[in-house]
Every structure is written in structure tokens, then in C-alpha cells.
């Protein structure tokens, strides 16, 4: 195998690894979006009284407090939605 063939093979392997890395990042973003949707839906269900789970109480109170703070500060958050703005940065990993 000549030097040119080895260089071509190395470049192909690097391209494959880079593509896999991009796919991993996209999958993590999709996972983060799914967690966000689940959290939003869970909050809406708890807020409406359709779902009651004591372990959600602190989180729901925290969300209500943060929404009230935004409303007091003249923020753009509406009382009907708990969706976060879209981010172009890397996703946060769920705990």
C-alpha cells in the first residue's frame, strides 16, 4: 500500500469518525428536546391538577416562582407555556 493510499484511507476514517460525532451530537440534542417536551407536559398536567406526584411539588413551585419573576421583570414568558427558547449551543445532559 503506497503513501497516497494510506493517506486516502486515513482521510476516509477521519471523515467517518467526524460523521459519527455529528450524529451523536444531533441525537443528544434530540434527546434533550424530548426531555424538555416531557417536562413541559408534566408541568402542564401537574399545574392543571390532572397529575399529582409529591416529588414534582418542589419543581413545580420553582417553575411557578421563576415564571412569576419573569412576569414581574417584564419578561416575555406567558403563563400558558413553559417552553424554553431554542438553543444553538450544545445540549445539556440530563441527570
Centre a 10 Å sphere on the Cβ of residue 8 and count the other Cβ atoms it contains.
12
Residue 14 has pLDDT above 80, yes or no: yes
Kindly state the percentage of the chain with pLDDT values over 90. Answer: 49
Kindly state the percentage of the chain with pLDDT values over 70. Answer: 77
Residue 83 has pLDDT above 60, yes or no: no
Cα 16 to Cα 3, 8, 27, 73, 88, distances in angstroms? 20, 12, 16, 48, 24
Return the pLDDT at 45: 95
Mean per-residue pLDDT, 52-80: 84
Phi, psi of 52 (to 5 degrees): -125, 115
Rounded Cα distance between 44 and 78, Å, is 13
Q: What pTM did the predictor assign?
A: 0.54
Record the cell numbers describing residue 34, joined without a space.
424530548
Return the pLDDT at 10: 85
Domain definitions of the chain by residue range: 3-72
Amino acid at each position: 500500500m503506497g503513501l497516497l493510499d494510506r493517506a486516502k484511507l486515513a482521510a476516509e476514517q477521519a471523515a467517518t469518525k467526524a460523521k459519527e460525532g455529528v450524529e451523536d451530537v444531533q441525537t443528544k440534542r434530540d434527546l434533550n428536546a424530548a426531555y424538555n417536551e416531557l417536562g413541559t407536559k408534566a408541568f402542564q398536567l401537574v399545574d392543571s391538577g390532572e397529575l399529582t406526584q409529591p416529588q414534582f411539588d418542589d419543581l413545580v413551585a420553582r417553575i411557578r416562582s421563576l415564571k412569576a419573576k419573569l412576569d414581574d421583570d417584564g419578561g416575555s414568558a406567558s403563563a400558558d407555556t413553559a417552553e424554553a427558547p431554542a438553543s444553538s449551543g450544545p445540549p445539556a445532559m440530563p441527570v
